[in-house]
Structure 1
Amino acid sequence: MVDMAHKKVRWVMEQSQHSTNFQNTGIFVLSANLIPYPLSNTHRPTAAMLSLISPAERDYILKGIECNIRADGRQRSDYREVTLETGVVSQTSGSARIRIAGGTDVLVSVKAEIGPVLVDPETGDGADKGQIICNVECAPSASQQFEGRGADELNNELTQMMSRFLSHSGPTASSFPSTTSSSSTASGSEASTTAKTTSGAGGINLSKLCIIPGQQCWILYVDALVLDYGGNLMDAIFMGTRAAIYDTQIPKTEVQDLGDGQFEFEVLDDAEDTEEVEGREDMPICVTLNKIGARHIVDATPLEELCTEAKLTVAVNRSGELCGLQKGYDGGIEPSLLLEMIQSGKTMGQSLIKQLDASIKKEADSDLSKRQRGEPVHKLGFFAQ
């Protein structure tokens, strides 16, 4: 029996048959057969933030959502236009800028560096895996709520959530997405071996980031900077992160066996000798659903977020597999509405991933075509509007 008062748990669904509603605990149970993972509460608006919306505005938003007409003209399930650009920071291994019409603007960069592997001293896990280290920073100029101590709490919360969803190596809700790789091992064997590896909920194959097991690996530093805020922050961060990982190229390495268990490696400095991040296509994005009144909406604006009683963040990959769930705020979610929100999040997530991948492919094809014709490829840069 879980101590609800002292241990907050995020549950990932295997086979949901019934739901139970918990209020004021920050947790929810989806079925009797579940896998628990650590959870911390999402950022809750302060009293000062709640004072920014008047009772009349709140009533207008609530009644509009009930009638399926939001203040900006959208319906409950409508997403605002998303603008994506990759390769905007030349000093990084990969980068992307994501903008949601209405204000939210996030810049994500990925830097690949070599460092020691992180091995669990008790279990020995991690000796053959690389690392992903996430950091989220909200610029104080982006919003009033990003000033002072509240910004530090929000930055930590967003960073922890990214780390859990991207680095976690546990199972997804339905199956283990796997990738097949062929590579020579650090033991110096010339024969290629094919290994079926489990990428886990984060999609990325961390084993492919290992250079010398137990010694050296690639570390991907994922940094997200929130430049402007117009609601729906978590969704924008994850979409930008997925695009930045897609844009990332990691230099190839050659490992030599010196004997007696000693190895050395060389990083190839040719710009063409790079490889993509394996498993990037299985990376999840997040869809945040806000419960307002008896209904739920996607892609909430700042005023709609101030009217939110409870929010549910659903992490889903391109196959529609549920990779993570997190409930925020103190309000409860009825069992029937909970399952409806999860299904809506999965459907919306798959649709967004298709649109993002199509946009990334279109931009990549355009850049390749220009290079083949000998034309320069110009990026607008993240200061462009």
Structure 2
Amino acid sequence: MESRLSSHEVDYIVEGIENDLREDGRSNCDYRHVQLQTGVLANTNGSAKLTLSGTRILVGIKAELTEPNASNPDQGIIKFFVDCSAVASTEFEGRAGGEDLGNSISDVLHKAYNHPNALNLSSLCLIPSQQCWALNVDALVLAHDGNLLDAISLAARAALSDVKLPAVSVTEGSEGEPIEIEVSDDPNDCKEIDVSGVPVTVTLSKVKTSYVVDCTSKEEKCSNAYLTVSIDKSGSICSLTKGGGSGTLGVDMIADMIEVAKVVGLKLLNNLDEALKRKSTRKGHHGFL
């Protein structure tokens, strides 16, 4: 894909968005079709592969026992790493390309997942101040055709629903003796993670005087401002992130964007959860939207 658009291409895309008819036939608030697979990586505790048209994401989650952070001694830990490889797009070539974008996406996800109403991190703590589960969420961008953050947030939530944590028994020693921790090696002796409160992100990009959801990479080149809203199943906002460089977002437009994000986010969450429910009865791809 060309890294630059001609002025004619820009005019065509912008005019379509201004008339609520995008290049691929969608309206400004329509999402592309999503394909999802879970349990795709054997050497992880949970995994998912998500395809959003030309954007493809692979997420693997590994759990390890570690010491809780001193600032949250009674909680587990979740960490994100996003690899925007140059193999996925020439736009990611060089340090300023993929690495900076990956760090930016990781920061937004960390903020959303550490919201008090999101993931129950306390359930990941085994012994306060001593032992907890740390979830390392690694996302690899396999192909890029826009809307990476939202695609990764969907794939991460799906991968979390696939996580199986080994059962752990904690035995308190007598006075002066250490606490003993035993991790079960029985693959059937495990527990799942409650993802019901985990949000998804909805990114709305401003193009001239309008805004759209689920931008293609071409549409992203025509946008100069965006608002990313993290929404949970109750419709609550877990985080807000504004970006895009020189573009500005007026108060009225931000208010409208948030309302649209709530509608789109709830639809995404409901459809995602329905697709995940079907995974136990039907193997293969789970499509939604």
| TM norm. shorter chain > 0.5 | yes
Residue number among 155, 159, 171 corresponding to 2:106 in the alignment: 159
Deviations 1:317-363 (A, max 9, x none): 11111111101112111221110100000110000011111111101
Residue number among 178, 181, 204 corresponding to 2:119 in the alignment: 204
Give, in whole Å, the separation in 1 of the partners of 2:184 and 2:250. Answer: 56
Where does 1:290-329 land on structure 2 (aligned, <5 Å)? 290-329=205-244
Residue number among 138, 141, 148 corresponding to 2:84 in the alignment: 138
Give, in whole Å, the separation in 1 of the partners of 2:282 and 2:32. Answer: 25
Where does 1:69-148 land on structure 2 (aligned, <5 Å)? 69-101=21-53, 103-120=54-71, 126-148=72-94
SS at match of 1:365: coil
Q: Tell me if structure 2 keeps the 8 A contact 1:212–1:263.
A: no
Partner residue of 2:266?
A: 350
Q: TM-score, normalised by structure 1?
A: 0.71
Give, in whole Å, the separation in 2 of the partners of 1:151 and 1:268. Answer: 39
Pairwise CA distance, 1:281? 1.1
Give, in whole Å, the separation in 2 of the partners of 1:64 and 1:162. Answer: 31
Give, in whole Å, the separation in 1 of the partners of 2:258 and 2:281. Answer: 34
Pairwise CA distance, 1:114? 0.9
Give, in whole Å, the separation in 1 of the partners of 2:252 and 2:108. Answer: 26
Question: For structure 2, which runs of at least 5 residues remain unmatched after alignment?
Answer: none
SS at match of 2:280: helix
Give, in whole Å, the separation in 2 of the partners of 1:244 and 1:334. Answer: 36
SS at match of 2:27: coil
Give, in whole Å, the separation in 1 of the partners of 2:10 and 2:102. Answer: 27
Select the structure of larger CA radius of gyration. 1
Partner residue of 2:152?
A: 237
Partner residue of 1:255?
A: 170
SS at match of 1:345: helix
Deviations 1:154-196 (A, max 9, x none): 1211122222221x24xxxxxxxxxxxxxxxxxxxxxxxxxxx
Q: Which amino acid aligns with 1:288?
A: T
Shifted more, 83-92 versus 212-221: the winner is 212-221
Residue number among 233, 254, 261 corresponding to 1:338 in the alignment: 254
- Please provide the CA RMSD for this pair: 1.5
SS at match of 2:101: helix
Residue number among 276, 284, 287 corresponding to 1:360 in the alignment: 276
Pairwise CA distance, 1:141? 1.1
Give, in whole Å, the separation in 1 of the partners of 2:260 and 2:104. Answer: 24
Q: TM-score, normalised by structure 2?
A: 0.94
Give, in whole Å, the separation in 2 of the partners of 1:127 and 1:68. Answer: 50
SS at match of 1:364: coil
Question: For structure 1, which runs of at least 5 residues remain unmatched after alignment?
Answer: 1-47, 121-125, 170-199, 368-378, 381-385
Pairwise CA distance, 1:259? 2.2
Give, in whole Å, the separation in 1 of the partners of 2:250 and 2:131. Answer: 48
Give, in whole Å, the separation in 2 of the partners of 1:313 and 1:252. Answer: 36
Give, in whole Å, the separation in 2 of the partners of 1:60 and 1:340. Answer: 25
Aligned length: 281
Pairwise CA distance, 1:144? 1.1
- Following TM superposition, the consecutive aligned residue runs of length 4 or more in structure 1 with deviations greater than 3 angstroms are none
Give, in whole Å, the separation in 1 of the partners of 2:57 and 2:63. Answer: 20
Pairwise CA distance, 1:315? 0.3
Q: Which amino acid aligns with 1:286?
A: T
Partner residue of 1:56?
A: 8
Q: Which amino acid aligns with 2:48?
A: A
Give, in whole Å, the separation in 2 of the partners of 1:228 and 1:217. Answer: 34
